[in-house]
Structure 1
Amino acid sequence: MKELTSNQVASFWDSSGFEMDYVGALGRSGDLLCLWDPSVFKEQESIKDRNFLLLKGSVVGCSEPLCIMNVYAPQGTREKKNLWNRIADLKDKYAGMWLLLGDFNVVRFQEERRNSNFNPVRARDFNSFIFENDLVEYAMKGGKFTFSVGNKMNSSCLLLRKSTSGIDLFDFFNSWLDRDDFEGVIRASCDKFKSTSPTYLALMKKLKLIRDDIKKWWDKTKAKEGEKEKIVKAELDKSEMELETRELSEEEDWVILESLNELTKIANFKVTDIKQKSRARWALFGDENSAFFHNFVNNRKRKKFYPRYGD
């Protein structure tokens, strides 16, 4: 329905008073309706979108603002991702407690679907949206699915608590485990963590702290290794020019060999990371891993450039 009146929706409520707001339908879909008891929830403002209805207000007896969003997500992958971004922008703009509910048209995990196709890309985008915006999922009670047509079933239910710190999805590279200082970063994060929160919240906060410290360490490590790589390559280029005019001393040969070992170590880290990325992309998209193979070939060329000291 494009237009709704209180008389038309009164059948959804008991004899007591109610307030309402809605987004009219376009064709056969998109109609969003919210009803609430004004003695419990006080609406201050509403924001309407083709895919959501946001009510901003407060619960009687609670000073913290409450934002309730009724969601009707589109079908397309790109349209879904655009919606997640719009919701995230609003969440950053308006402080307080947030509650998201409605039809997200996507699930988080394959087991949440039955007799219907599971799309890993949409699930990945949805999970990223959840974690990046500190969303916590309600546990389903009374059944596994919230929607079913014949044998087709899916489920999803979300709760956002402003005080709960979520865990971002971020890439963890296996090559980090081979770096000497990585374990120290983890131990230092664990040692400095203090919390009086309940166990499940404390665990989430601890993992978030570890993640943030890993990100800071990785940014510094990448910058340090990038600078070291430039210096080593410059030294090797200088040594090559010296070779054209004279024989190098044993000490200079040793410096070149150490420089090559350092350069190879950095290159191997990069190749390992590229290989891991390529496998993840292949699992999701089935691509040809061209970036990995190009980097692998370039690495082999680099080694052949110094046959005297290479493998």
Structure 2
Amino acid sequence: MNILSVNIRGMGSKDNADWLRGIKESLGVSVLALQETQFKDLSEFNISMYWGNSSFGSDFVEADGRLGGILCMWDESVFQCTSTNVVMKRNLWESIETVKNNTPGWWVILGDFNSVRFRNERKNSKFNPTSDNNLNNFIFSADVREYSMRGRCFTCYTKKGNKQSKINRILLCNDFFSKWPEACLRALPRLHSDHSPLLLTVVNKCYGPKPFRVFDSWFDREGFKEEVSKAIESFNGEGLPDVLCSKLKHIRGIIKKWRDKTIFKEKEKKKTLQNEMEDLDMIAESIDLNEQELWVYTECKKELEEIGMLANLKQRSRIR
């Protein structure tokens, strides 16, 4: 069972949906909590694009214009929902505490708290002792805890990366800690948000090999059509009992070789760019980035978008 929390800064982008669905499917996420959906009404919005084809439950709190909005989705075979309106009450944390104390069960409280617990959880941004003491008092009174976060020191970054804070958290009841003392909370790399997704992992899972698919984006890739043409021309079906199936199998084998070679090159390039951005993020946690470093960060991000490294994530499979 894994739990993922992220400030999405608007749900309208298909890139965001594909990105988070990819994380959810690859890491076996059972709960997906999105903040700042910026949607007042989700009745006509296809939220399954964030979850995938499997069944799920969901609940949401509408945004105030372009501000706020919460969507929570969960695997119904793992969790059951108890509906409350606590997030609509004026004093949110105290209201959650009251509901928690009056509702038996195991509690996971997560999201963008927009406050930090300690001064060192902010860099180049204003520390508000009153607000942050209120968060600490809530955590103490509600009797919840949090795992040490790995991967990063902060969860929220400005566009230029010069301001950071740890305002996203996953708080859990003591029963959760007793059940999974070795669970791991990790801040994942951010691609389409200024907030890092938080992944809470309690069980390692292996999903086996991926099925073979041909994606729409491949038809525009260099060398694809040529390889398919060569595969058709090189096929010799003489004496085979099922010529059509054998021909398709032959073409698929050629496409796989092209795919593996092409994707390897693209992944290497993408990895290099992302690693450079990650390195700059880590540097920015200690010192301010200089003008050249800020330029490099911007260019890396622009190149990732321009060369279409994420094109396959945005395409539906054409052949299964």
TM-score bracket, normalised by the shorter chain, equals: 0.3 to 0.5
TM-score, normalised with respect to structure 1: 0.40
Report the structure number with the largest CA radius of gyration. Answer: 1
TM-score, normalised with respect to structure 2: 0.39
Structure with a larger share of its residues in helix: 1
Q: Which has the higher contact order (CA 8 A, sep 6+)?
A: 2
